[in-house]
A = this chain, B = another copy of it.
């Protein structure tokens, strides 16, 4: 039962036009777990860190209900490290440094008690690792969501295509949708990608919102909230994914209509993530703040009928 999250737990060093950080807590699974914690009391993590990963970070995750029984700790190795610098418009970034460390030979092991998870979030990770997780599960979860990125499309496409063939929902950004499909137009890109396996596709457009394409050619759009202060986009896509699957797991309803609601919660969660560096905003976020902001998304597009 419950939500299983597979992905990186990492150290990030970030620089944006608004400041820079030393090594701070990062990783796709970290953001997904923190985000999903506003919807489900408990989630289960499968990941790996080194002996340098501090107890305080584990305590933070545990305090949010993220079960760490599936977190491998390799005492004599170092945690995955990524360093990036964002350009002025924050829509693009350069990787300054990548140290795979424990990730280089990560062999995911799903603990026995997580084997029957109903919701599976495969965070952005080597596609071969995502596949190995799927292979371990004795029965198919009710819903599998996979997030990936352009790097794997360029460097591990055969594995990636095999992985996404098995999933229900794929989340990628607009550039990645164009890259994966070879189509410039997003509607045509979505049609093509949905023939590769995922019945449902989410195309994330960052500050321009997100599109949800359903199996009966339905299209739904969740706007992004116009924010006056955006300081660091790191983890926004993971936070988005965590809100999406967290809401679906909470409501246990995978209809397209409910996925629309989940998309709005996903956008809500991502809007918080970008307001501070790293996970800082998520660390202290309250569920009441989530509800208030979710209502702002409704207001943003709401029109009273003509009286």
Q: Which residues of A contact B (CB under 8 A)?
A: 88-89, 184-188, 191, 205, 208-209, 211, 219-223, 226-230, 251, 257, 260-261, 264, 300-301, 303-304, 306
With the chains together, A152 CA to B306 CA distance in Å? 37
**Candidates B184, B191, B223, B261; contact of A88 at CB < 8 Å:** B184
Known contacts: A211-B226, A228-B187, A228-B188. The answer to whether A219 contacts B300 by CB under 8 A is yes
Contact A303 B221 (CB under 8 A): no
With the chains together, A269 CA to B88 CA distance in Å? 34
Contact B184 A228 (CB under 8 A): no
With the chains together, A230 CA to B186 CA distance in Å? 11
With the chains together, A89 CA to B227 CA distance in Å? 26
**What copy number does this chain have within its complex?**
2
Known contacts: A205-B208, A209-B208, A209-B223. The answer to whether A230 contacts B185 by CB under 8 A is yes
Contact B304 A301 (CB under 8 A): no
Residues of chain B within 8 A of A211, CB atoms compared: 226
Contact B300 A221 (CB under 8 A): yes
Known contacts: A205-B208, A208-B205, A209-B208. The answer to whether A227 contacts B303 by CB under 8 A is no
Contact B186 A226 (CB under 8 A): yes
Contact B89 A303 (CB under 8 A): no
Residues of chain B within 8 A of A205, CB atoms compared: 208
* 27 residue pairs from A and B, CB less than 8 Å apart: A89-B184, A185-B229, A185-B230, A186-B226, A187-B226, A187-B227, A187-B228, A191-B228, A205-B208, A208-B208, A208-B209, A209-B209, A209-B223, A211-B226, A219-B226, A219-B300, A220-B300, A220-B301, A221-B223, A221-B300, A222-B301, A223-B301, A251-B306, A257-B304, A260-B303, A264-B303, A301-B301
Sorted from nearest, which 3 A-B pairs have the closest CB atoms? A208-B208, A187-B228, A301-B301
* CB closest chain-B residue, reference A224: B221
Residues of chain B within 8 A of A260, CB atoms compared: 303
- Nearest chain B CB to A16 CB, angstrom units: 12
Residues of chain B within 8 A of A187, CB atoms compared: 226-228
Residues of chain B within 8 A of A228, CB atoms compared: 185, 187-188, 191
